[in-house]
Amino acid sequence: MMNSFSKVEELLPGYLSGDLSDKDRAMMDEWRLESPENELIVQQSRKAWEAIPLLTEMEQFNSFAALKNVNTKISAKKHISWWISIQRIAAILLLPLLVYTGYLTIKSQKTISNEHQSISQTVISRPGMVSQFNLSDGTKVWLNSGSELQFPLHFNGDKREVQLKGEAFFEVTKNENHPFRVNAAELKVEVLGTSFNVVNFDDDTQSEIVLVTGKVALSSESGKSRKSFGTMIPGQRVIYEKSKKNIIVQKVEVDKYISWREGNLIFRDDDMEEVVKKLSRWYNVEMTIVDPEIKSYIYKATFRNENLIQVLTLLKLSAPIDYKITERKMLSNGEFTKQKVTLIKRKS
């Protein structure tokens, strides 16, 4: 039995890599069985260890030295600090997506009006990442891969307003005197306190709202023209057609539309064009369909923690589809092109 957490920290890297002696491995196995907390530490540490090879490829990171550095000279009294460090290493995984508050691009700018001066921030969730953070009023935000949210550092005035490009989930702190408003291009979503998902990508022909709890009021604004669409109730999905400036209302199972927060992708009778669009954003690849017939295929699946190759293999097994991958190339400026995936109909 190990009497100090420092001994665990010393042995953990070797335990995860398989480089311990039989005696030390037996000690670690015994320690894992002592409590659920110990087992949780090992499981979360393993996630971190599995994440490090990808980080190595991205940043020439010395994985073993890094984890050793996290653990070295940390006493049992600093258990919490060690635990946070482990979680941060694990969160650098690109596939599957994980929530991580520190891996963001943040831009700040000052906005001056007749009433007040405020500092505006834009948070950008990098491709392949899901980011979670809180606004100044306590509202929780999950920002999906390749999305950005602009918001004031502190809310002033009668309304709490944010600007969204991409996809985000909001758990809004209730404040009857200060409604919360999401501006998704022309589509406007106004709430008091509720939870909902908003999708508004520039390259999409439509925006959408899925309401989980509470009630929201929808409207659109284009120039001086404003149109009200009324209110939504939980379990509804509203699709705003940008060209027609009209909405379509559907009753849906909300889990399908908010599962991305936990790193899951759910498809339920979706056509292959929709599947390809989501997979392209999810894995930060350029995915195209060559044979038009594939677009009409209907797909049903749930992906949890699968990487891109595993997902493509499942597509190939479940439908007459094959794929070709074009690896990334380095550009003259040192950046890499996106990985390209082409879907073709499999020959019988």
Asked if residue 99 is part of any domain, the answer here is no
CA 216 to chain centre: 23
255 Cβ partners below 8 Å, 6+ apart? 266
pLDDT at 23 over 50: yes
3-class secondary-structure state, position 53: helix
Q: 211 and 171 share a domain?
A: yes
Same-domain status, 249 and 301: no
Identify the burial level of 317 via C-beta atoms within 10 angstroms of its C-beta, where 0-12 means exposed, 13-18 middle and 19 or more buried: exposed
Q: Which of 75, 63, 80 is nearest to 6 (CA)?
A: 75
Please report whether residue 70 resides in a domain.
yes
Does residue 114 fall inside a structural domain? yes
Peptide bond into 96 cis (omega under 30): yes
Same domain, 57 and 154: no
In a shared domain, residues 267 and 252: no
The dihedral formed by the CA atoms of 48, 49, 55 and 56, expressed in degrees to the nearest 10 = 160
Q: What is the pLDDT of residues 305-336, one digit of tens each?
A: 788 888 898 888 888 889 999 887 877 777 77
Q: Indicate the residue type of 182.
A: V
- Residue ranges making up the domain that contains 153: 104-256
Beta-ladder partners of 112? 117
Query: Is residue 111 situated within a structural domain?
Result: yes
Given 33, 66, 90, the domain boundary residue is 90
pLDDT at position 49:
64
112 shares a domain with 249: yes
Instruction: Look at the chain and report how many structural domains it folds into.
Output: 3
CATH number at residue 231: 2.60.120.1440
**CATH code (residue 294):** 3.55.50.30
Residue 346's pLDDT band (boundaries 50, 70, 90)?
confident
Percentage of the residues of the chain whose pLDDT score is greater than 90: 36
CB-based contact 226:253 (threshold 8 Å): no
Asked if the structure places residue 96 within a domain, the reply is no
**Better-scored residue on pLDDT, 241 or 304:** 241
